[in-house]
A = this chain, B = another copy of it.
Amino acid sequence: MPLVQINNLWAEVPEDNRVEYFKRLDNAHAQELFMMLDASERASLLRGLDLLDRRLWMRLLDPDDAADVIQEVPTEERPDLINLLDHTFKNHLNALLAYAEDVAGGLMSPRYARVRPDMRVAEAIRYVHKQALDNVETMYYVYVLGTEQELLGMLSFRELFTAAPGEIVSNVMNTNLITARENMDQEELGHLFAQHDLLAIPVVDNANHMKGIVTIDDIVDVVEEEATEDIQKLGGMEALDAPYFQIGLVQMVRKRAGWLTILFVGEMLTASAMAYYQDEIASAVVLALFLPLIISSGGNAGSQASTLVIRAMALGEVRPKDWWRIARRELLIGFLLGLILAIIGLMRVLLWQHAFQAYGPHYLLIGLTVFLSLIGVVLWGTISGALLPMLLRRAGFDPATASTPFVATMVDVTGLIIYFNIALLVLHGTLLK
């Protein structure tokens, strides 16, 4: 049975029957399936198996993957699981468990190929061969370490393989290395991989001692996961952390209701603000007609700006210290965008007046109110949408909190105040007292 088919069947097995289904597979298929599961699926499967089977499957995993599984298991069950492993493995694992799951230290594998700088190439190849037999996970790079485990250089396996056999390793190794610190965030690691087209990045401590390597196959998932989290936060909810259909109804409502309620309470300020302008609305109902149009334009412009800045920050294209450059730029862009919408808005008032006499004798003043409000509100929406994510980062929050609905809500309230104040100014003595 080919891999893809097992995977599809598995997805259709009800959660409660998965352990039974797994037990009934022959070893070859079970292995293929197990290697394809993610850490949380592996953890729940293992918890349903008996002790001997658990050991078998845990030992099959590379230390970094095993560490992920253990982090998915309730704290009190972890020691039992760790004790199933042999001594060396346990040491590796404990080292990994000391790091958070989402930093380089927590993603790295201690199984890399290493050689000494003073070896000849032929000797180094034999040495790597021995390590390959000994279950070294990744062989595409060979790391050259000094006596103190300090990282001196690196060769791709191909470079080692094709170098003259009598050459000294330190003469053929590359010394210009991209490395990561143990506490480097996985998102940043993702950019490092994307930027330098590397297959593995060595992790070193302050004193350049080699701690392990992070391999690119563990990072593709990360890049995808981080983007999913950001997208969901930008949509105005908590990140789901699991595929859509795997989230229960209650949890789904909880993940969405929180932000929805916060936004709702924030948006209540519009009701208060409008109550304040109640008399103006009563004497010029026409003001209410344009209200949704004007405040939503500010929200849309703000959504664009915040989305752009949040993504640019996530990709490292924009840093908090660039705020002034961004502010200047978005000021101009916001003004131009506002002007475009203002012209269309004004034309709409003039056209409707011409066609239906919709706005009475003061239509020009109404048009002017709409025109000026659109410039003001779009400009304000753009600037606040662009700067809010940077403020949030500065205050220690995730910039993606400045979601599209969040910015829209904020700009609704302030946009409403801008609109009514411009109306008071322009319509004073005509439609308004």
Contact = CB atoms under 8 A, between A and B. Distances in A.
A344 B265 contact: yes
Interface stretch (A49-57, A83-91, A278-286): A278-286
B32 A224 contact: no
A408 interface: yes
Interface string A131-170: 0110010011000000000000000011001100000000
Interface string A296-312: 11011101101111111
A278 B297 CA distance: 22
A323 interface: no
A281 B283 CA distance: 11
B256 A337 contact: yes
A381 B344 CA distance: 27
A257 B309 CA distance: 17
Given A235-B304, A245-B325, A260-B340, 20 more contacts: A4-B178, A136-B158, A139-B140, A140-B140, A197-B221, A198-B217, A227-B228, A234-B234, A235-B307, A235-B404, A243-B315, A260-B301, A264-B297, A267-B297, A271-B348, A288-B291, A296-B409, A299-B405, A300-B409, A408-B408
Contacts of A301: 256, 260
9 contacts: A32-B176, A194-B224, A197-B218, A228-B311, A236-B304, A244-B308, A253-B336, A264-B341, A292-B292
B244 A318 contact: yes
Contact of A157 (B3, B139, B291): B139
A395 interface: no
B253 A333 contact: yes
Interface string A90-123: 0000000000000000000000000000000000
A129 B176 CA distance: 25
A219 to B, nearest CB: 7
A256 B223 CA distance: 26
Interface in A381-433: 404-405, 408-409, 412, 416
Interface string A206-222: 00000000001111110
Q: How many copies does the complex hold?
A: 2
A358 B308 CA distance: 41
A162 B235 contact: no
A412 B311 contact: no
A270 B245 contact: no
4 A-B pairs with least C-beta separation: A235-B307, A227-B227, A404-B404, A244-B312
A276 to B, nearest CB: 10
A253 B337 contact: yes
A292 B287 CA distance: 13
A237 interface: yes
Contacts of A318: 244-245
Given A196-B36, A227-B224, A292 B412 contact: yes
Contacts of A230: 227, 231
A184 interface: no
B236 A303 contact: yes
Contacts of A367: none
B217 A220 contact: no
A216 B224 contact: no
A161 B113 CA distance: 13
